[in-house]
Amino acid sequence: ETGVTQTPRHLVMGMTNKKSLKCEQHLGHNAMYWYKQSAKKPLELMFVYNFKEQTENNSVPSRFSPECPNSSHLFLHLHTLQPEDSALYLCASSQEGGSYEQFFGPGTRLTVL
Amino acid sequence: QKEVEQNSGPLSVPEGAIASLNCTYSDRGSQSFFWYRQYSGKSPELIMSIYSNGDKEDGRFTAQLNKASQYVSLLIRDSQPSDSATYLCAVKRTGADGLTFGKGTHLIIQP
């Protein structure tokens, strides 16, 4: 595997389900990010982890819970989501947080029924 | 005021011509600027980064930054149909690790 990978690529879940999105980067980076891309809206930053420590939470509802066990892996745990949470969830990584270039994974297309 | 603004387009350019994409930002302290290309149904792909005033060239792409005017642009020379995509401008604002994105400009290169 190279670059940034994300699983699953597609996910359909009910509002009462609990699921997790997984991201793995193979670039030797130390910062990882979750972004949300909804139709008609700009890409929105959700969370930032730099050297495994969360450095940004962009006022994300608590039904989204991130986890970063090490610099290569990032998870987004989902529970009791709403239909308006349906979107493309993108993971990115960079050498460190800040001015470094960020590289995106392919994304997980989430549909909440 | 929107933090990062782009004309949503579509911007239609004939094949072989120069495509010019523009972006303005509101945070005067912003330090780093990035252009991403996103094809429909795909994730954003980094094209260029620029950190200081002036021009930066990479192949057919030139990024231009003017911090005094809070303006960044991307020029694509010899436009090809494969350049048809949405181009996203992203800015690292003061004190942030993550990026703030514009809505993107939809570019269409007409054969």
Q: Tell whether the model's pLDDT for residue A97 goes beyond 90.
A: no
Phi, then psi, of B65 in degrees rounded to 5: -130, 135
Q: Give tens-digit pLDDT for B47-97.
A: 999 999 999 999 999 999 999 999 999 999 999 999 999 999 999 988 888
The DSSP output letter for B95 is T
The DSSP output letter for B81 is G
Residue B90: count of CB within 10 angstroms of its CB: 26
Phi, then psi, of B81 in degrees rounded to 5: -55, -30
Helix %, strand %, coil % for chain B, to 5? Answer: 5, 55, 45
The pLDDT assigned to A57 comes to 92
**Confidence class of residue A78 from pLDDT cuts 50, 70 and 90?**
very high
CA-nearest residue to A58 within chain B is B98
A101 touches chain B (CB under 8 A): yes
Beta-carbon separation of B42 and A106 below 8 A? yes
Task: Give the residue, B93 or A26, on which the prediction is more confident.
Answer: A26
Q: Give tens-digit pLDDT for B10-20.
A: 999 999 999 99
B31 touches chain A (CB under 8 A): yes
Contacts of A52 (CB under 8 A, 6+ apart): A68, A69, A70, A71
Q: Give tens-digit pLDDT for A42-73.
A: 999 999 999 999 999 999 999 999 999 999 99
HEC string of B61-77 equals EEEEEECCCCEEEEEEC
Q: Tell whether the model's pLDDT for residue A103 goes beyond 80.
A: yes
Contacts of B96 in chain A (CB under 8 A): 56
Q: Radius of gyration over alpha carbons of chain A, in Å?
A: 13
